[in-house]
Structure 1
Amino acid sequence: MISDKYDYLLKIIVVGDGAVGKTALSVRYTDGIFKDDYKMTIGVGFSIKMMDVDGYRIKIQIWDTGGQEQFTCIRPLYYHGSLGGLVVFDKTNRRSFYNVGRWFKEAYDNSGNIPLILVGNKVDLPDIQVTTEEATNLAKKFNTIYFDSSAKSGQSVDTIFESLVRMIIDPKYVDKLKEVGVEYEQSKIIYNESYQHYDKFANYAITYFQEDQKFLALEFLKRALYWAKRAEFEEGARWCGEQIVYIAQMLKISMPIEIEGIVLTCQSCNKFYSVKHDGHFVCPKCYSSLEKISSNLMKV
């Protein structure tokens, strides 16, 4: 019987334009299969893989997000707690390559400076429109590495995910990358009882939001916010606060909640941001001025 115990639980995101093969890559790695008839991912796809790396038993959660424009408003919900990710484009679709910068920015905006790997999928197909050389050069601009891959043949798939896991957990592997000019900020992995409670309730909230049960999502977000503060997990507390504001506004309800810092909103994009200090800020998406809607104890 295979033990379900593990040393690390890592959440990995897979982002990129729609139809570039994000789900196919994830399923190829976790299940070892490939299908030609994947349906469009609605919101987020989710898969799990147990692996052994350098003597550690690791459980990875792979979240691949819907890349279409209609999912822009809900994608930030799925970034929280991510420790690394893949930015994927289709080598036969140059437009998806042009959009790579936007995906790096979205991942960094929502998850901080986590390790990301650039992946060019569908290398097995004819009519390649993006060369390995130009993709490698683009990866260098983001201080990362690049892999050609094929979810269909399995080319490089295992290597890609294993490399990403090592970037997250193995300082020696990161040092080797630094020697060849690639630098990363080591992600902080928090393991304590309070954080585990936070992560559990936050994931419940995401599930209920995806099922359009927004009131239940709010209830579990409040619980997650409490445990994030107990764990002194500042990013998690900020994320919970922002999502509570967002969902409460969707439901058009007033609810006093305690959020650390100052909450700003972009009227054009209908997005919310939390900052520590007062001042003038602009929306990173549309560059409109942000308006302050609350500070510390807020009512939404």
Structure 2
Amino acid sequence: LNIAIIGDCGVGKTTFALRYIQQQYVEDTTATIRCSFYKKIVDHSQGQIQVQIWDTAGQEQYRSLAPQFYRKSDFVVVMFDLTEKQGYENCKKWLRDVQNEENQLPIYVIGSKFDCTRGDVNMIEQFEIPNGVNKVMLTSSRTGYNVNELFEIIIEQYLNMPQTQKAITYVD
């Protein structure tokens, strides 16, 4: 199961990936150059599943590299910073890039740094769910809010895809 995480620089992609992989908050991360790769074996009722995460660079000079990583993915997570005024608008640009690809991938939109907001879970209602997006979720890497839940949803969707759409990797 391959998942690409894309979005602007500083939205928390690396911290989010590390929170899931290590199950702890990593305070200081450096900006990703090109792409980082993380792997985790997940125990599931159907067996062990290898989850691979491509953490892409968000800086403008590396933006053109993102497609080569999400084209190889089964899912794309587009992340934006809830504390940035332009965050969601910038997220829409990333979404358009993914949706312009021939291979229509399942997409999840994630608002990060929920712990830095007023903590109103109803704020999700202000973000429209664009066509082609499976779900919009609020998350916090610091507290772990909705981090594991997102990956559980993705794993379930992946396992329920028609066999022809996936090459499932079980680990013995």
Question: Which category of TM-score, normalised to the shorter sequence, fits these structures?
Answer: 0.7 to 0.9
Q: Which amino acid aligns with 1:76?
A: P
Is the aligned partner of 1:73 residue 2:68? no
Using CA pairs below 8 Å that are at least 6 residues apart, which structure has the higher relative contact order? Answer: 2
Task: Report the Cα distance in structure 1 between the residues aligned to 2:154 and 2:91, rounded to whole angstroms.
Answer: 18
Q: What CA distance in whole angstroms lies between the structure 2 residues aligned with 1:111 and 1:45? A: 24
Q: Tell me the matched-pair count.
A: 166
| TM-score, length of structure 2 as denominator length | 0.85
Identity of aligned residues (%): 28
Query: Following the alignment from structure 1 to structure 2, what is the Cα–Cα distance between the partners of residues 76 and 93?
Result: 24
1:132 maps to 2:124: yes
Distance 1:53 1:76 in 2: 30
Give the aligned partner of residue 142 of structure 2: 152
Is 1:189 matched with 2:166?
yes
- Asked whether the 8 Å contact 1:168–1:186 carries over to 2, the reply is no
How big is the alpha-carbon RMSD for the aligned residues of Structure 1 and Structure 2?
2.3
Distance 1:54 1:25 in 2: 25
Give the distance between the partners of 1:69 and 1:141, measured in 2 at CA: 25
Higher radius of gyration, 1 or 2: 1
| Superimposed CA distance per residue, residues 87-114 of structure 1 (whole angstroms, 9 cap, x where no aligned partner) | 1111101212111222122223347211
1:162 pairs with 146, 152, 161, which one?
A: 152
Residues 134 and 126 (structure 1), Cα distance of their counterparts in 2 relative to 1, 3 Å cut: closer
**Quick check: 1:20 aligned with 2:11?**
yes
Unpaired runs of at least 5, structure 2: none
Give the number of the structure whose residues are more often helix, by fraction.
1
User: Unaligned 5+ residue runs, structure 1?
Assistant: 1-9, 172-184, 192-300
Q: CA deviation at 1:131?
A: 2.8
- Give the distance between the partners of 1:89 and 1:102, measured in 2 at CA: 11
In the TM superposition, structure 1's runs of 4+ consecutive aligned residues that sit over 3 Å from their partners are 108-111, 140-143
TM-score of the two chains, using structure 1 as the length reference: 0.51
